[in-house]
Chain A
Amino acid sequence: MTSPDTVASSSSPLDRRAASRDLLPSGTLHMWQDEPLPEPDRVFWPEDDAEVEQVLRAASEAGIPVIAFGAGSGVCGAAAGRAGSWVVDLKRLDRIGSVDPTTWTVEVGAGVNGQVLEDALAAAGWTLGHSPSSIGCSTVGGWIAARSAGQFSGKYGVVEDMVVGVDAVSVGQGAFHVGVAGSQSPSRRGPDAWMDLLLGSEGTMAVITRARLRVRPIAKARWLRGYRMPSVEVAFDAMRELMQAELWPAAVRLYDPVDTLIGGRTKPKADHGSEEDHESFLRSWIKSVDGIDGIHKRSLVLPLSLPGLLNKVANRFATGCLLIVGWEGEPGVVEAASTVGHKLICAHGEDLGHEPGQRWYDSRHAVSYKLMPVFQRGGFADTMEVAARWSVLPRTYHAVRKAVSPHAFVMAHFSHVYPEGGSIYFSFAARGDQGTYERVWAAALEAVLASGATITHHHGVGSLKAKHAAREVGPAIVGWKEARAQHDPRGVMNPGRLFVEGEPMPPPSLALDPSDGLIFTAPGPQAPSVQARALWPWTHLPSPPRWQRHAWQTGWVDVTGQIGGVACALGRGPRSATGPDLRPTLVEKGADLACTVGLAVDGPRWMGEARVASPWAVAQAILRADLRPSMMGVVDGALRIGFRGPAAPAFGALASAVVTGGLTERAWTVVPIPAETLIPCEVGDARVTWVTSERAFRPREVADV
């Protein structure tokens, strides 16, 4: 039998109690109401991969459930306490390596706190660019395990876009690495396919111990602005046009009319400057009503007891929405993009100036402070983030509000947008017990799935969404099951979370609307006719592994087919965090396959060409200058760089300035992007066929095998 006794651990009542809860609001409700929470038997603090493996093996041999724990900031219950379990607390895996200035990457332990990491990077002039509101209370390992997304995802991507390599430990496979190896990585390399399965696995297969992450120099310029939009629908049009114009804002945030009213954010420009503008409606309500004798601490009891009426009243008085848009990066790029973007948005709404944007930026991590007063005053609060393509978003938004309104006060904002769609972040507040809580969630998740959206964009699944996650992925769950059998043969890793199979649900219809910015194709080699229309002209699908793509390049979006005669639709939006990415499983095991990819919309095009000594090195310099070419490649020895959208000529001029002798404008052509897995190499290598900001790549050769 393997003994874990040499690993630091505690079975003290205090440490067991401390590990009994993550931030799943129902757990907070239990804690607040003095109800007992399930406590683990023992908490371990391993300091390296070997100690992690020691604990996992001992647990597996004894049949003891294991919960990997970072900072416990998850709100879906993936790290919630479990009676009789062992908790593997990863916070001693806290090494932050030096930034490699050649590859623009850094090696980081899974237990490193997000804010500690960002502070360390900032001290050296770098940033990860990952800025979830939980940054101060979450860890790198948790971000990866639950597929986090930060507030500047438009520029830096979501967390899986930042990951170029991961180290992990499992019972079945021991210590291994996938993707790009680092200085601390175990020597054993896992198949590339494991990367998609580890990201989002929420501790159900292996324990992530370390990651190599992309970093960028700290932005030299930042541009933020607010707009008053007449309705959510009009704002959707503006956001869609902005993203499909390839202007790549770092942040785009829309608050629906009720969220705008509650937050006290949107006032016509003339009203700005008074002190009450800076106090939310909710806080000023609580402050004024708490002052009445006998009401203190119960000020929300009555309104939250009548959610239907409260929703009607709020809808009656709420008019207009606040849209925040921001760019950051190199000054020239920020100016070019924001100039065009500002004009585009002003065609739909009223300019409120820089102040609302700056106000949001200054308080961007403060959102989590808003939930405590609701619990303290007799209610509970929770949030749900989902995603859908553009044509589905309005349907999902209205369906969820309608489904939840009888049970809870509901509002929403939209914090992540892509050329192919966006996310919706619902906030609920209600009064009641666990039964009320569960009714709210059941109504909300049923409405999401029925509308055709994915049930999670960046909070993960945990126990809260596990049944609906299984319904969403349908028969493709077999990919996760097979991987789990390889890594966790006795099923001790976080059982009962991520996927809990139940009643099946037919997938939604995939008919496309022109606004979606998507086109149908199929896995396999991509025809020139598809490449000519596609946002990213991959040579074939699936697209290459993430560490070989730019952070902003999407591969396929939806993938549909059937496994064993059971229909399956995965994706359901520009990004889904419903567990691991099982789209490759569907393609591997399925039949009647189809998929969608982003569509390049009509509009201006600009392409330049240069014959330079080291064309791929120049291409990388253009990427490191913060530019995002729509086309990039070397054709007949000449570098070709192309941009689409209304800012294309301005971006072209900026790119030209990077090239010695400049780029010569030429006719637009499609330059296919290699999709096969390539080998990292020096940027000056004559065999280079692709570069990212971080590295150069060449085709695999016989000698490499």
Chain B
Amino acid sequence: MSEPLSTCALCPRLCRFACPVANGTSREAAVPGTIAGVLLAWSRGTVDDAIAREAALLCSDCGRCQHVCHLHQPLPDLIAEARATLAPVQVAAIGAIEGDGALVAIETDDRAWSAALSSRLGEPVARLRTPDALGGEARRAKGWEARLDSLREQLKGRTAVVAHGAAARVLDEAGVTWRWLHDALGVPAAPSCVGGALTCCGGADALQAGHSADATRLASRFGGDGVLADARCGAHLKAKGRVVVDVIDQLLERT
């Protein structure tokens, strides 16, 4: 990993403005280039696992640093690769798509919304239940490519509809066709929630686990007008006591 990682470690941190976690927490440690520096040192054996793990978990895997980088450095992948070693997680196997339809609702929590979407659009919508959001936390872990192959096979010729930033990123990586739920419904997304080609508000699951104060501060910064497009962000905000309506809530209430 060292050549691309060293490029990011040596870079003047030019992508920092785009990182939702670095901006949300104000921590220098969360700046993508700083994380790269820590992981480079860890790969050389001069930083211990505990520090490297904390750094790797600061990344919310939104992909915006790569998106704004003039060199398109694959830093999110490099961090995910390090995280797979430093903080391995077990994810469930991809389940089977249930039902028929050219559209497949990717349901990431206990809200079942494929039927409501079908009713709203007037066409059959299948569903894929995945409580771990397609297992994005295990990106770059052993078996990751097989997981992507499984997704490609199941979604061949169909379009996934998604309301979760981490799941969207997995679909992006698999190269399957997908669209946001709010786009399918034709409703505007909150400005803080969606922006750029890769979308994620920085719901930062890792922060919720390890840095409660940072997570609270992040939660205080997101929201605003429009519907929350990302259920991960919605869950994050709700966990921090904010009253929010995300796009799935809206769909279920209006149908």
Chain A residues closer than 8 Å to B13, beta-carbon distance: 23, 71-73, 137
Chain A residues closer than 8 Å to B38, beta-carbon distance: 14, 17-18
CB-contacts of B14-28 with A (<8 A): 14-18, 23, 26-28
Asked if A15 contacts B12 (CB within 8 A), the reply is no
Cβ of A315 under 8 Å from chain B: no
Whether A91 touches B17, Cβ cut-off 8 Å, given contacts A23-B12, A32-B10, A376-B3, is: no
CB-contacts of A7-34 with B (<8 A): 8, 10, 12-15, 17-19, 23, 28, 31-32, 34
Chain B residues closer than 8 Å to A399, beta-carbon distance: none
Cβ of B223 under 8 Å from chain A: no
Chain A residues closer than 8 Å to B70, beta-carbon distance: 363, 365-366, 369
Asked if B3 contacts A137 (CB within 8 A), the reply is no
Chain B residues closer than 8 Å to A115, beta-carbon distance: 17
Chain A residues closer than 8 Å to B54, beta-carbon distance: 12, 14
Q: Report the nearest B residue to A114, measured CB to CB.
A: B17
Distance between Cα atoms of A19 and B27 in the complex (Å):
9
Distance between Cα atoms of A369 and B54 in the complex (Å):
27
Asked if A372 contacts B26 (CB within 8 A), the reply is no
Cβ of A69 under 8 Å from chain B: yes
Chain A residues closer than 8 Å to B37, beta-carbon distance: 31
Cβ of B198 under 8 Å from chain A: no
Chain B residues closer than 8 Å to A371, beta-carbon distance: 10, 12
Q: Report the nearest B residue to A34, measured CB to CB.
A: B46
Asked if A372 contacts B16 (CB within 8 A), the reply is no
Chain A nearest CB, measured from B123 CB (Å): 36
Whether A14 touches B14, Cβ cut-off 8 Å, given contacts A31-B9, A45-B26, A372-B7, is: no
Partner of B26 from A28, A111, A369 at Cβ < 8 Å: A111
Chain A nearest CB, measured from B62 CB (Å): 16
Which of B18, B26, B38, B51 has the most chain A CB atoms closer than 10 A to its own CB?
Answer: B26
Q: Report the nearest A residue to B26, measured CB to CB.
A: A91
CB-contacts of B170-227 with A (<8 A): 213
Asked if A72 contacts B28 (CB within 8 A), the reply is yes
Chain A nearest CB, measured from B110 CB (Å): 35
Chain A nearest CB, measured from B1 CB (Å): 14
Chain B nearest CB, measured from A76 CB (Å): 13
Asked if B26 contacts A92 (CB within 8 A), the reply is yes
Chain A residues closer than 8 Å to B68, beta-carbon distance: 136
Q: B58-86 CB contact bits vs A (8 Å, 1 = yes)?
A: 00000000001011000000000000000
Number of A-B contacts (CB under 8 A): 98
Asked if B15 contacts A17 (CB within 8 A), the reply is no
Chain B nearest CB, measured from A26 CB (Å): 13
Q: Report the nearest B residue to A363, measured CB to CB.
A: B70
Q: Report the nearest B residue to A113, measured CB to CB.
A: B17
Cβ of A116 under 8 Å from chain B: yes
Chain A nearest CB, measured from B56 CB (Å): 11
Cβ of B34 under 8 Å from chain A: yes
Distance between Cα atoms of A43 and B28 in the complex (Å):
10
Interface residues on B, range: 20 to 34
Chain B residues closer than 8 Å to A385, beta-carbon distance: none
Asked if B31 contacts A18 (CB within 8 A), the reply is yes
Q: Report the nearest B residue to A43, measured CB to CB.
A: B28
Interface residues on A, range: 35 or more
Asked if B51 contacts A17 (CB within 8 A), the reply is yes
Whether A369 touches B31, Cβ cut-off 8 Å, given contacts A14-B55, A116-B17, is: no
Q: Report the nearest A residue to B16, measured CB to CB.
A: A137
Cβ of A606 under 8 Å from chain B: no
Cβ of B11 under 8 Å from chain A: yes
Chain B nearest CB, measured from A387 CB (Å): 23
Asked if B10 contacts A28 (CB within 8 A), the reply is yes
Chain A residues closer than 8 Å to B27, beta-carbon distance: 10, 15, 18, 45
Chain B residues closer than 8 Å to A91, beta-carbon distance: 23, 26
Cβ of B41 under 8 Å from chain A: yes
Chain B residues closer than 8 Å to A69, beta-carbon distance: 28
Cβ of A375 under 8 Å from chain B: yes
Which of B13, B16, B23, B28 has the most chain A CB atoms closer than 10 A to its own CB?
Answer: B28
Cβ of B87 under 8 Å from chain A: no
Whether A368 touches B16, Cβ cut-off 8 Å, given contacts A8-B213, A18-B27, is: no
Cβ of B97 under 8 Å from chain A: no
Asked if A71 contacts B44 (CB within 8 A), the reply is no
Partner of A94 from B9, B12, B26, B213 at Cβ < 8 Å: B26
Q: Report the nearest A residue to B58, measured CB to CB.
A: A14
Asked if A71 contacts B14 (CB within 8 A), the reply is no
Distance between Cα atoms of A19 and B3 in the complex (Å):
24
CB-contacts of A53-94 with B (<8 A): 69, 71-73, 89, 91-92, 94
Which of B3, B10, B213 has the most chain A CB atoms closer than 10 A to its own CB?
Answer: B10
Chain A residues closer than 8 Å to B26, beta-carbon distance: 45, 89, 91-92, 94, 111
Cβ of A521 under 8 Å from chain B: no
Q: Report the nearest A residue to B22, measured CB to CB.
A: A91
Asked if B28 contacts A19 (CB within 8 A), the reply is yes
Chain B residues closer than 8 Å to A23, beta-carbon distance: 12-13
Chain A residues closer than 8 Å to B244, beta-carbon distance: none
Asked if A372 contacts B14 (CB within 8 A), the reply is no
Whether A14 touches B51, Cβ cut-off 8 Å, given contacts A43-B28, A114-B17, A116-B23, is: yes
Distance between Cα atoms of A545 and B26 in the complex (Å):
34
Distance between Cα atoms of A73 and B9 in the complex (Å):
14
Distance between Cα atoms of A23 and B31 in the complex (Å):
14
Q: Report the nearest B residue to A32, measured CB to CB.
A: B10
Q: A369-387 CB contact bits vs B (8 Å, 1 = yes)?
A: 1011001100000000000
Cβ of A620 under 8 Å from chain B: no
Asked if A34 contacts B41 (CB within 8 A), the reply is yes
Q: Report the nearest B residue to A116, measured CB to CB.
A: B17
Chain B residues closer than 8 Å to A43, beta-carbon distance: 28
Cβ of B159 under 8 Å from chain A: no
Chain B residues closer than 8 Å to A17, beta-carbon distance: 29, 38, 47, 51
Distance between Cα atoms of A134 and B12 in the complex (Å):
8
Asked if B17 contacts A34 (CB within 8 A), the reply is no
Asked if A18 contacts B12 (CB within 8 A), the reply is no
Q: B127-168 CB contact bits vs A (8 Å, 1 = yes)?
A: 000000000000000000000000000000000000000000
Distance between Cα atoms of A136 and B31 in the complex (Å):
12
Given pairs A45-B26, A91-B23, A94-B26, 7 additional interface contacts (CB within 8 A): A14-B55, A17-B51, A32-B10, A136-B18, A366-B70, A372-B10, A376-B7
Interface residues of A (CB under 8 A from B): 8, 10, 12-15, 17-19, 23, 28, 31-32, 34, 43, 45, 69, 71-73, 89, 91-92, 94, 111, 113-116, 134, 136-137, 297, 363, 365-366, 368-369, 371-372, 375-376
25 interchain pairs, CB-CB under 8 A: A12-B54, A13-B51, A14-B54, A14-B55, A17-B38, A17-B47, A18-B31, A32-B10, A34-B46, A71-B16, A73-B12, A73-B13, A94-B23, A115-B17, A134-B12, A134-B14, A136-B17, A137-B14, A137-B17, A297-B3, A363-B70, A365-B70, A366-B70, A371-B12, A372-B11
Top 3 closest A-B pairs, CB basis? A91-B26, A18-B28, A115-B17
